[in-house]
Chains A and B, each alone.
Chain A
């Protein structure tokens, strides 16, 4: 059984178990991909390409945030322009730098693969031939694991160092945000919808969101919010203090 519309999606995970996506709300407002003048004038970065280098650092950094640190093993799948030109653009070292948590202007960015190797982190890059599963020519999909936990993040670089995260897989649940950052995720092992309600009202006051969705599997609920504007740094601290399993991308 598969139902598909804007409000309700059921995934067959192939092992006889299902996960459920519920779409909660969408404001009619136009959603802007670029949210700050510094998305256009900036970032300050090490060359040569903002989408293939700075944007790739950003995708790696989101991988680090989602994983909650540096994974032991990462397989990076490239699609489209990323697959064609990653070697010339330094995309490999950029993704590695992001996974290590470096910023775009960190002078260690070009040395990141070496640094990762020394720390015993295995990062591999695969040029995929087919169409990007998230429909963008600058796509990188990160498969991350530490032996127990497996997490997947599919990001695309939309220009000038800005990125979108269009798909995540956490605890076998496929999360499909609208893409534009920031994104807040709460992973709820208690599976209590009141947890979602509390977070929703907190965010409504502190960080208004355009859309929110609930993803359900037998083991976890995941609540996802597409936040309107970039966070103030203090808010991330506040959220992390309140919720152990929160992810702010």
Chain B
């Protein structure tokens, strides 16, 4: 199994295979399953993601039981339809997809964790936008997920992907880095550029704390996925432009782990510090748990 990003890049360059192919081969070897089985498993995940994006962006949208989140993917959709956005329609489409997915998650709908449920909007956010922008077929979209997953495996095994151990940088930060690397491949960039995009995306979200109000995966998680998606696209574009990260990808991952472990417990998914600790955050917690949701 690949233990470092640099090994993946070196192998991809040596074999002249895309990263997605190396990860598919690795998965077949590790699991003993046929290529077809492995492929279909990822296809099922892709279909789950598509259904969640669609559910959150249809009609009035979805709303969580607490009323804290919901309906904002629809607001973004309506805003886009007016034809003028500051950051561009494709960017806001990615944001809409990301928010839609996490609203479905907060409403206890079915999602695919990528890498976690709290960060489940980031990858579909950019993937279903790129589907339209780059006219991707299903095979390319499945390959996107293998590349993202292979990068995520290295992150998970060398650092953290849980908010409770690494903060939000380990969830949305990892998702964003995975998405940036996969976006580069799907846009025709090199494996080395994928690694640069990962490093840039991860560096830019380093230190992000996990501070959910009332401990719920709602505020700020839903909107954090918007920044995860946006940051992934920015990092991918920068890498495709030839920008490089001064700190190599593997060292960025190590730094993320150390920063996560240095974070106080109150900022690691305990619902105590950060936004959760504000007067409003505390008041919401009291209100929700009096009702005993």
State the A residues within 8 Å of B (CB): 30, 32-54, 80-81, 84-85, 87-90, 105, 107, 110, 136-138, 157-162, 229-230, 232
Please tell me if the beta carbons of B117 and A49 are within 8 angstroms of each other in the complex: yes
Please tell me if the beta carbons of A159 and B145 are within 8 angstroms of each other in the complex: no
Please tell me if the beta carbons of A48 and B156 are within 8 angstroms of each other in the complex: no
- Is B134 close to A, CB under 8 A? no
A39 CB contact (under 8 Å) in B156, B271, B289, B292: B156
Instruction: Enumerate 22 A-B pairs (CB-CB under 8 Å) in ascending A order.
Output: A32-B157, A33-B156, A36-B30, A36-B153, A37-B146, A40-B115, A40-B178, A43-B112, A45-B117, A47-B120, A48-B108, A48-B118, A50-B116, A50-B117, A51-B162, A53-B117, A80-B270, A107-B110, A137-B269, A138-B162, A159-B166, A160-B115
Complex CA–CA separation, A50 to B163 (angstroms)? 10
CB distance from B155 to the nearest CB of A (A): 8
The interface on chain B, measured as residues whose beta carbon lies within 8 A of the other chain's beta carbons, has a size of 67
CB distance from B244 to the nearest CB of A (A): 25
Given contacts A42-B113, A44-B48, contact A51 B163 (CB under 8 A): yes
Please tell me if the beta carbons of A34 and B153 are within 8 angstroms of each other in the complex: yes
Candidate in A35, A47, A157, A160 with the most chain B CB atoms within 10 angstroms: A47
- Is B114 close to A, CB under 8 A? yes
Please tell me if the beta carbons of B23 and A37 are within 8 angstroms of each other in the complex: yes
Nearest CB to that of A82 among chain B residues? B164
Q: Which residues of B contact A35 (CB under 8 A)?
A: 1, 30
Please tell me if the beta carbons of B45 and A48 are within 8 angstroms of each other in the complex: no
CB distance from B164 to the nearest CB of A (A): 4
Complex CA–CA separation, A225 to B61 (angstroms)? 48
Q: Which residues of B contact A37 (CB under 8 A)?
A: 23, 26-27, 42, 146, 149-150, 152-153
Please tell me if the beta carbons of B106 and A137 are within 8 angstroms of each other in the complex: no
Nearest CB to that of A137 among chain B residues? B164
Please tell me if the beta carbons of A36 and B112 are within 8 angstroms of each other in the complex: no
Complex CA–CA separation, A123 to B44 (angstroms)? 33
Please tell me if the beta carbons of B217 and A89 are within 8 angstroms of each other in the complex: yes
Please tell me if the beta carbons of A159 and B106 are within 8 angstroms of each other in the complex: no
Complex CA–CA separation, A37 to B289 (angstroms)? 37
